[in-house]
Chain A
Amino acid sequence: MENNQTIEVILSQINDTSIRTVAEHALLSARKALDKPEHSRVKDVADEIDKIMPRALKARLKDETA
């Protein structure tokens, strides 16, 4: 970990495009969910991540084909 390297920067360095897409989206969703009521946070984050899956799966398919 370099000096002052934030989690955001570390995630942006993930090589696999599809994993990076899901990871970054999961972090963003979690940040937003932290302002919501505690009981529904985990479910909200899971639902949000689910929304990005079609795009991430396309990226994975594209990488596999390449």
Chain B
Amino acid sequence: MKLHRIELRNFRQFKGTQIIEFSYSATKNVSVIYGENGRGKTGIFRALMFCLYGDRSLSQDELSGEKKREGLILVNEVMLKENKGEKIQASVTIEFSHGNQLFLIKRSISGLMKSDNSILQDYNQVELQLTDANGNTLPKETDPELIKIKIQEVLNSRLRDYFLFDGERIERLTRNTQERREEVRKGIRTLLDLDSMDLAIRGLDKLVSKIEKDIKYKSTGKLQRITELIHDLNIKIEELKNNQDYDIQESKRLEHNIKKISDLISENEETAEQERKRQELIKTKQEIKIERDQTKNELVEQLNRSCQLVASELIEQLQEALDFHREKGELPPAIRKEFIEKLLAEEQCICGTSLDHQHPSEKENLLLFMKKHFKLGLGKESEELLYKLNRISSTNELLSNAFNRLLMKNKKLNDEIDDLESKIKIIGDELGEGGTSVDDLIQERIKCEEDLRELEREIDRREDQIKKDEDDREDQRKEAAVLEEQQDHLKTLVAKRDLTKDTLLELKDIYGKFAVEIKKKLADKSTENFSKLADIETLKDIKTIDIDDNYMLDVLNWAGQRRLGEISAGQRQIVSLAFIMSLIQIAGDLEVPLFMDTPFGRLSGKHRDHLIETIPKMASQWILLATDTEFTAVEANVLRQTNSWGKIYELQKEEEGVTKVIERQVNEFIPKRKSIY
């Protein structure tokens, strides 16, 4: 989307008809709207949001309840006052291109000032004129719903908040508070479509359950009973997974808190050494936990192989009975007849002694053995059965040993984890009793760690339960699949369910990979942008921008320590801008104008210069809304040198409540102030 032109008529401060033409070519993509505070710079963005989406307020107005529904007064109040009792029409018309199409959209609103000076606003009319890639102008569309769909296709309304950033919001975005972190998380998920994917997966999951329910109703006999079981398991697993997701998020939050508190504690020299020991113990504990989990998996595999152990006592008794009969010569020995016959034929004993005429007694012994034990003439199958039983009996011990070894290992690792946890707790308590200024932090961390331990146990337990239920469901599904084939009337439903399940698996796989890669990419791109925007001193403090598993933004210093809570407001602003730009870059086909309202307020000279030089290269279109105090001759000069500056408009006060838009020439424009100093 590239903005070409906006026409304001009696909208907010803009009395009468006023026009701004934006610069939107590939080389000249910067437009500056210059004016003092209160002249209506934000009103330009407000007009854009009103025209595209019918918004009567912006999220930054922070209106709620009735006020949010009513919105702000959008019709010029001077006009309303001058024409009290008469309806005044206000409108915004925008011309923009998207892809190869040209859009002309106009939205109107009327207002009326009553005799008691209260104002009524009446929403509104909208019309859209489209010109296609071949230059054909299509019939004018006036259906608000169809226009809404068309505009959503160009720029989804959920993304609207990510293209206007005033200075305060830019700085606020990276404040170290849960609320702001949530805003960043939401931004990432919204812009990169992760929310849509998540919802698509949940929708497919729901459809699978729905189809299985239909199969349950339409099936008969045993299949019906199995499908009922599957249905119950579906409900149970869904509930377990919901709880698991919630607890995993909660544990991540706790881990993040613990890390944050630990960083703060580490800075205190008195406690640093103990803290270091504690961190080492925590690391060891994590490593042992990984080993314990692997052992648990091995145990499960071993258990699958060792099902015969269940009957080990019975096999032992049977073996004893067989040995008794063997000794009496009633059963053949545990050696195969064919083996003895082979030895005799080759005239070579198992010990290497030759069975020729020089050793007649050995040969005789073997012949006697044959005669005694194989005289009964048991059938081939019976002999085979005896050998198999013998083999099972001899492997039982091996299996049992392996199983016991894993059990012991699992127990040993669990003991080690318990031991480490108590050591960690002791050090934590000692740290808490130190009477230092970090007491409160330590107590807070102890509480977080206890909560986390409890949560991790619950997560482990639930994970086992989910696995067990899923295995159970899989077994039931396999059995059901065989029975389903016998019930012809279910064929279509079964095919539908299978396709839905296949799609679900594919989407889950794609989503998992995409989410991991996108986080890394976003962090790398943010770091890259940051290195272009920040000055040398800031780059010494901050090396990397990081996005954790929970989509939380942070900055790391040279030692990899998290430092978001400590950087200055100006540095935070640079981090925010680097991040915002990376979001837009990573979002791929998201070509949108980037509005920045007074972004330089907290920035030092070098940062301002870098920003002005870099943003035009990163954004497809940059609309800079600036005050006279921050867009001085210095900034104008830097922007001019980028050769990307195409338009400048000055907002001038004509009378109280009325602003005049005046176009100036970029090359001739001289800001009112020479510099910020």
Interface residues in B116-167 (C-beta closer than 8 Å to A): 152, 156-158
B206 contacts A53, C-beta separation under 8 Å: no
> How distant is the Cα of A33 from the Cα of B158 in the complex, in angstroms?
12
Given contacts A26-B203, A42-B199, contact A6 B510 (CB under 8 A): no
Q: A4-B585, A34-B199 known; A53 and B500 CB under 8 Å?
A: yes
Question: Measured between C-beta atoms, what is the minimum distance from B506 to chain A in Å?
Answer: 5
Q: How far is the CA of A41 from the CA of B203 in the complex (A)?
A: 8
- Evaluate contact between A48 and B197: CB separation under 8 angstroms: no
Interface status of B114 (Cβ within 8 A of chain A): no
Interface residues on A, range: 35 or more
| Per-residue B-contact encoding for A15-27, CB less than 8 Å = 1, 0 else | 0101100110011
Name, among B196, B197, B513, B518, the residue most crowded by chain A CB atoms within 10 Å (CB to CB): B196
Partner of B500, one of A7, A10, A16, A22: A22
Query: Size of chain B's interface in residues, with CB distance under 8 A?
Result: 39
Measured CB to CB, the nearest residue on chain A to B206 is: A46
Beta-carbon contact of B588 and A19 below 8 Å: no
A18 / chain B contacts, CB cutoff of 8 Å? 499
Q: Quick one: CB contact mask for B493-519 with A, threshold 8 Å, 1 for yes?
A: 001100110110011001001100110
CA distance in complex: A7, B200 (Å): 12
Question: Is B406 interfacial (CB-CB < 8 Å)?
Answer: no
Assuming the contacts A7-B514, A27-B197, A34-B199, asked whether A45 and B499 have C-beta atoms less than 8 A apart, the reply is no
Most chain B CB within a 10 A radius of its CB, from A9, A10, A19, A33: A19
Contact between chains at B204 and A26 (CB < 8 Å): yes
Interface residue? B392 (CB, 8 A): no
Interface string of B186-211 (1 = CB under 8 A from A): 00000011011111111110110010
User: In this assembly, does B587 line the interface, its C-beta being within 8 Å of a C-beta of chain A?
Assistant: yes
Chain B nearest Cβ from A31, distance in angstroms: 5
Q: A4-B585, A57-B499 are in contact. Are A34 and B158 (CB under 8 A)?
A: yes
B contact face: mostly helix, strand, loop, or mixed = helix
Q: How far is the CA of A49 from the CA of B208 in the complex (A)?
A: 11
**Contact of A60 with B495 at beta-carbon distance under 8 Å, contacts A19-B506, A26-B507 already known:** yes
Set of chain A residues within 8 Å of B503, measured between Cβ atoms: 19, 22-23, 26
Please indicate which of the listed interface residues B156, B203, B514, B585 has the most CB atoms of chain A within 10 Å of its own CB.
B203
Please indicate which of the listed interface residues B152, B157, B507, B517 has the most CB atoms of chain A within 10 Å of its own CB: B507
How far apart sit A5 and B206, CA to CA, in the bound complex (Å)?
28
Instruction: Specify which chain A residues have a CB less than 8 angstroms from the CB of B495 in the assembled complex.
Output: 57, 60
Question: In the complex, what residues of A have CB within 8 A of residue B152's CB?
Answer: 35
In residues 26-53 of chain A, which contact B (Cβ within 8 Å)?
26-27, 29-31, 33-35, 41-46, 48-50, 53
Chain A: minimal CB distance from B676 (Å) = 36
For residue A66, CB closer than 8 A to chain B, the reply is no
Q: Judge whether A1 and B203 touch: CB under 8 Å.
A: no
Q: In angstroms, how far is the closest chain B Cβ from the Cβ of A6?
A: 4
Q: Which residues of B contact A45 (CB under 8 A)?
A: 199-200, 202-203, 206
> Which of the residues A7, A42, A60 comes within 8 Å of B499, measured between beta carbons?
A60
| A interface with B by C-beta (< 8 Å) | 1, 4-11, 14, 16, 18-19, 22-23, 26-27, 29-31, 33-35, 41-46, 48-50, 53, 56-57, 60
Query: 5 A-B residue contacts at CB 8 Å?
Result: A1-B518, A6-B588, A7-B197, A30-B198, A49-B203
On B, residues with C-beta under 8 Å from A are 152, 156-158, 192-193, 195-204, 206-207, 210, 492, 495-496, 499-500, 502-503, 506-507, 510, 513-514, 517-518, 521, 585-589
User: 14 additional contacts, CB 8 Å, given A14-B506, A19-B503, A30-B198?
Assistant: A1-B514, A4-B585, A10-B510, A10-B514, A22-B500, A26-B503, A29-B200, A33-B203, A44-B203, A45-B206, A46-B204, A46-B207, A49-B207, A50-B210
Report the 5 A-B pairs with minimum CB-CB distance, sorted nearest first.
A45-B203, A30-B199, A26-B200, A30-B200, A46-B206
